[in-house]
Amino acid sequence: MLARAKALGCDLRPHVKTSKTVQAALLQTGGRKSKIVVSTLAEAAFYADAGFDDILYAVPITMDKLGDASTLAQRLGSFHLLVDNAVTVANLQAAPGPGGSNGGGKWSVFVMVDCGYHRDGVDPSDPASVEMARKVANGNTTTLAGCYTHGGHSYENSTAADVKAVAATERDAVVLFSQKLKAAGVRCETVGVGSTPTCSVPPDHLNGVNEMHPGNYVYYDVMQRDIGACTSADIATRVLTRVIGHYPAQNMMLIDLGWTGCSAQGGEHGYGAFLETPSLTIKVLKQEAGEVSTVDGSKIDFTRFPIGTMLQLAPYHACAATHQHRVIHALAADHATIIDTWNICKGWGGSAEIPAPIPSARL
């Protein structure tokens, strides 16, 4: 992804919410401790504690979070907020800048642009959106850092060609908005795009864009494979589970994995895939247990899977599966020896929960 961004003329500002670990973030940045995107203030504090700077909190800010945001802004050389409505802009400008009334300084703000996802963001064709950005740029306590968009609707596609088409509309929307700002005399230094599908299957060019911010690609998952963003060989993570029961009459094996271990997403897709044993699939997941049968309904060969057998599930959505756990184990080339254990940031507020490390072992 670093090479792709460079080839497309962009900086890579990776989103780190998939792994929520320092080690994976450093793989994403190529070793630098700067220019990342987070989804929670806990993540921002976690990475700040690890020495990262230039952090964008890419969820529309609300006033209840300004205290934690102010602490981060004072700690870091660059900490950016994101807005997508005039009410929040007015509230920000009525409040003191980072550090309070005696601290001075301005909030560094990105404007979120809707590129067709329709989850959040301003309409890039609406003159009111330009006026809102102008107010950010000219505010006594705000400054405009750039515009940001996320083509999340790329996940709704089923082919790489469809994803590429969304990537082009994502680019066009944010570039259109940046051009409108320029025509209105508003400087917009950063123009950013990014979802893992649209950055994995990018458009032919990203002219007018200077930053990409995908995140899931650090692990990939079955969802990304199914929409053409990656192959099975690219999926880096597994959730491990053991066979704990045989039920030939139901043609079913019970496993000690429930939705608390891999999330409830992707039920219609088997909650992921047993890539190493592709004849098997999860039919039902409860909280702490799951029912496994065969993909095609054929009889299970129970002799191949004695009770105690470990199965490896490639999760349907790596971000959601990772969030269920406190650590992730990095494996050696033998896929069995744990060579490192990475702490996963937990929580949502301005302080991160950091779990105790687990000693190295073999799986």
Domains assigned to the chain: 2-219 (3.20.20.10), 233-316 (2.40.37.20)
Q: CA torsion sign, 32 to 193 to 55 to 329?
A: negative
Give the Å distances, CA to CA, from 252 to 131, 269, 271, 273, 309.
60, 17, 16, 16, 14
Q: What pLDDT is recorded for position 359?
A: 56
pLDDT tens per residue, the chain (363 residues)? 999 999 999 999 999 999 999 999 999 999 999 999 999 999 999 999 999 999 999 999 999 999 999 999 999 999 999 999 999 999 999 999 997 755 568 999 999 999 999 999 999 999 999 999 999 999 999 999 999 999 999 999 889 999 999 999 999 999 999 999 999 999 999 999 999 999 999 999 999 999 999 999 999 999 999 999 999 999 999 999 999 999 999 999 999 999 999 999 999 999 999 999 999 999 999 999 999 999 999 999 999 999 999 999 999 999 999 999 999 999 999 988 999 999 999 999 877 776 665 555 555
Tokens of 162: 């469809």
Type and span of the H or E element at 57: strand 53-60
One-letter identity of residue 341:
T
Q: What pLDDT is recorded for position 358?
A: 55
* Other beta carbons within 10 Å of 324: 15
Sequence-ordered list of residues with C-beta below 8 angstroms from that of 356, at least 6 positions apart, any chain:
none
Query: b/e per residue, 224-249, with b = 16+ CB within 10 A?
Result: bbbbbbbeeeebbbbbebebeeeeee
Q: Are the CB atoms for 91 and 63 separated by under 8 Å? A: yes
Give the Å distances, CA to CA, from 332 to 28, 30, 262, 361, 362.
19, 20, 22, 11, 10
Q: Tell me how far apart the alpha carbons of residues 77 and 29 are, in angstroms, rounded to a whole number.
A: 18
Residues β-bridged to residue 56: 37, 80
